[in-house]
Amino acid sequence: MLAPLLGSGAALVFALALLFSGISSTLTAGLAGGSIFSGIFGKPYDIGTPSSRTGVVITLCAATVMIFFVEKPFQGLILSQVFLSMQLPITVFLQIYLTASEKVMGPYKNSRIDNCILLLLAAIVTFLNIRLLLDILQSTFR
């Protein structure tokens, strides 16, 4: 779609950016899976430990298996973004909670005004994500 507007170079740059974005997301997911899995066993993340490696392998293998169940890549991309948007409010509210905690942040914790602004923004993001989910469900079942 970019080639007619900006030339074939733009399409190539966009394709490379998309590829590198996918690689970055894959690496991040693997690291997160390893970190969570080692945390379950009460150990710090260290790729040299079996628990961390197992978490990375499970995460990447599960993602690879899921790819084989996607018939239409564009629809799979849309669904992956819907699932990410359902998870986003949980992460946002957790981050607000943790950064407001004196136990966690010490003297660097959020002020009350910061928390109010952050909670308002989190509520807006949550509302928009719920709307997105409802729109996807409505378009799927029509």
Judge contact between 109 and 99, C-beta under 8 A: yes
Encoding tokens for residue 140?
A: 């799927």
What is the reported pTM? Answer: 0.58
Judge contact between 129 and 88, C-beta under 8 A: yes
| pLDDT tens readout for residues 21-80 | 888 888 888 898 899 888 888 888 898 999 899 999 999 998 888 888 878 877 777 777
| pLDDT tens readout for residues 66-110 | 888 878 877 777 777 777 778 888 889 999 999 999 998 999 999
> How far apart are the C-alpha atoms of 5 and 11, rounded to whole Å?
10
Half-sphere exposure of 17 (CA within 13 A, CB side): 6
Ramachandran area for residue 106 (φ above 0: left; ψ -120 to 50: alpha; else beta): left
Domain ranges of the chain: 1-69, 72-142
SS3 62: helix
